[in-house]
Amino acid sequence: MNNGVLISVVIPTLNNRQEFLKEALNSIETQSQLPFEVIIINNGKQELKVPQTSLNIRHLKTIFRGGVAQARNFGASLAQGEYIAFLDDDDLWGQDYLKNIKIQIDKDHPDCLIGKLDQLLGDKIMPFKNAHGQINKDTILTLNPGITGSSVVINKEVFLSIGGYDPKLPPSEDKSLILELIDRGLKIVTVPESQAIARQTEIERLSRNKNKMYEGTFQFYRKYKNQMNLSQKINNLCKIYKYLWMSKKSIVIGLCYLFQFTCLNTIRLIEKLFLSIFKVK
């Protein structure tokens, strides 16, 4: 992409994921329009051997072993492009992903763009989630309509101004990022023609990590509960408790950790839940 807006790609990775990284880089190298640069963040303790590629690669090693949010933030801070496209090392892009993103940037000059998310099942790519028409606070406070790091492109200055990804919220940091943009009235557009592809293995791995799921969902709830209506609170609390139960946490400890309420507030919540279910007047 030598003409117009410059897009930097940021990929967090580890040294034991080089086969995934090779395929991710190949999906960038075969784009119909190439990015200005690719920044690979080695978020592991061991040295990383970057696969050979014709791309403009900047390979950097973090000085800490943090999570994906910290790695993305570190890469974004060093990016030279006006926009940043994030790609997880085990995800892929459709051939025209960046081309369609650039068309939309030139047309609308948005602060953030979100592509659609498909799923790789074996050797077949299947529809998974499409955030088009669902980027609003009510939806995102309840569920994830298809927002993932690999489907998000954002203006660098905007990204840095809001503090980047919140490292306390995995795997809810993607939703949180978009909520922060919405709260500031910034312009977000969806680009359903731009295809991000998640592997089934990664989705299954994340769903199996119940400790990570309940911790991230709980922190998301704590951060945004004052913006949630009763239905959204109940929805998030049910998800948290489900992850606590599935991770075999003590029910008593789980309840204490989960609600963080006084007895009176807990009673009030139960009363509201009872009234909403049975419509008692």
CB 101 within 8 A of CB 170: no
The span from the CA of 171 to the CA of 180, in Å, is: 16
Range of the domain at 86: 7-206
Residue 61 has a pLDDT of 75
| Model pLDDT, residue 261 | 47
**Residue 70, both tokens:** 């910290």
Q: Between residues 59 and 157, which one has the greater pLDDT?
A: 157
Say whether 12 sits in a helix, a strand or coil: strand
Q: Does residue 99 sit in the same domain as residue 227?
A: no
The reply to whether 200 and 250 lie within a common domain is no
Q: Examine the domain organization and report whether 217 and 195 are in the same domain.
A: no
Q: For the segment 107-147, what is each residue's pLDDT rounded down to a tens digit?
A: 999 999 999 999 998 889 999 999 999 999 999 999 999 99
Q: Which of 15-19, 56-60, 163-167 has the lowest mean pLDDT?
A: 15-19
Q: Is 1 among the domain residues? A: no
Which residue type sits at 260? Q
Q: What is the mean pLDDT of residues 18-31?
A: 95
The verdict on 161 and 257 lying in the same domain is no
Indicate whether 112 and 157 sit together in one domain.
yes
pLDDT digits 0-9 by tens, 237-247: 888 887 777 76
Give the tokens for residue 175: 């939703």
Residues 145 and 50 in one domain: yes
Within this chain, do residues 171 and 233 fall inside the same structural domain, yes or no? Answer: no
2, part of any domain: no
223: helix, strand or coil = helix
Q: Examine the fold and report which residue of 206, 223, 258 is the final residue of a domain before the chain moves on.
A: 206
User: Does 281 score more than 50 pLDDT?
Assistant: no
Classify burial at 198, counting beta carbons within 10 Å of its beta carbon; exposed 0-12, middle 13-18, buried 19 or more.
buried
User: Residue 88: is its pLDDT beyond 90?
Assistant: yes
Residues in the chain: 281
pLDDT digits (tens, 9 = 90+) for 220-276: 999 999 999 988 998 898 888 877 777 665 454 555 555 554 454 655 555 555 455
Q: Which of 147, 175, 206 is the last residue of a domain?
A: 206
Same-domain pairing of 185 and 215: no
State how far the Cα of 174 lies from the Cα of 66, in Å rounded to an integer: 16
pTM for the model: 0.85
Burial code (b: 16+ CB inside 10 Å, e: under 16) for 25-34 equals: bebbeebebb
In a domain, 246, yes or no: yes
pLDDT given for residue 51 in this prediction: 83
Q: Tokens representing 161?
A: 């101004």
Ramachandran sector of residue 248 (left: φ over 0; alpha: ψ -120 to 50; beta: rest): left
DSSP characters for 127-145? EEE--TT--SHHHHHH--S
pLDDT, one tens digit per residue, over 158-213 is: 999 999 999 999 889 999 999 999 999 999 999 999 999 998 665 555 555 667 78
Residue 68 shares a structural domain with residue 103 = yes
